[in-house]
Copies of this chain bind each other. A is one copy, B any other.
Amino acid sequence: MAEQRGKLIVVSGPSGAGKSTVIAGLMRRRAGLCFSVSATTRPPRPGETEGRDYFFVTREEFQQLVNDGALLEHAEYVGNCYGTPRDYVERKQTEGLNVLLDIEVQGARQVRARVPEAVMVFVIPPSLEELERRLRGRHTDAEEKIRSRLARARAEYREADFYDYIVINDDPETAAEELDAIITAELCRYQERKTYLTEVQEL
C-alpha cells in the first residue's frame, strides 16, 4: 500500500494542564511524529536555527504570508507575530509524518476552520482545583497571574466545543497513551482507508 498521509494533530489546553509532559510522553511512545515549525517576526535568539526552531521572517514577509492564506493560524504575542506555515505542515504530512501543533485555543480554532480534517485535542487537568494547585506549585507566578490563568481556563472550557477529543491529564503516562490511541484510531478512519476498498472494487 502507498505510504499513508500523516495527520495534523492540534494539541491545546489551559496553561498548567501539563501539555508538554504529555507530548514528551507521546514522543517516547510513538515514531513517525514531527513538530510543526512556526514562522515568526521575533529575532533569532542565540542557538536558534532557521528552519529548525523557527522560520524567521520580517513583518512584511509575515503579512504577505497572512494575505496569501499561507498560515494555518497566526497570533501576536508580546509584540511579535507567530504563525504555522501551511506548506511546511503539508509537506511533512505527505512524507507520512503525523504533525503535532502545540498551540493556544484561539489558534486551534483557526486551524479547525482552515483544516476541517485536523484532529483537535483539548488537554485539561482533572479539575480546576487541580489546575490551581499546579499553577501555585510552580512558585513562579504572582497571585494575580494565577487568577487570570484560572479565569482564562474557564473561558476556554466554555468555547471548547470545536475539539474532537478531550484528554484528561490526571497521570501524564495515561494521557500520553490516550493521545497515542487517538492518532492510531484516526489513521484507521474509514475516510483514511477507503481507497483499500475502492481498489478492490476495480479488480
Contacts and interface: CB of A to CB of B under 8 A. Distances in A.
B166 A197 contact: yes
Interface string A31-54: 000000000000000000000000
9 contacts: A122-B190, A160-B190, A160-B197, A165-B188, A166-B189, A168-B193, A180-B181, A182-B184, A185-B185
A2 interface: no
Contacts of A160: 190, 194, 197
A190 B168 contact: no
A167 B185 CA distance: 9
Interface in A129-144: none
A195 B154 CA distance: 14
Interface of A: 1, 122, 124, 126-128, 154, 157-158, 160-161, 163-168, 177-178, 180-182, 184-186, 188-190, 192-194, 196-197, 200-201, 203
Given A124-B197, A160-B190, A165-B185, 13 more contacts: A1-B126, A127-B200, A128-B200, A154-B200, A165-B188, A165-B189, A166-B189, A166-B192, A166-B193, A168-B196, A178-B188, A181-B182, A181-B185
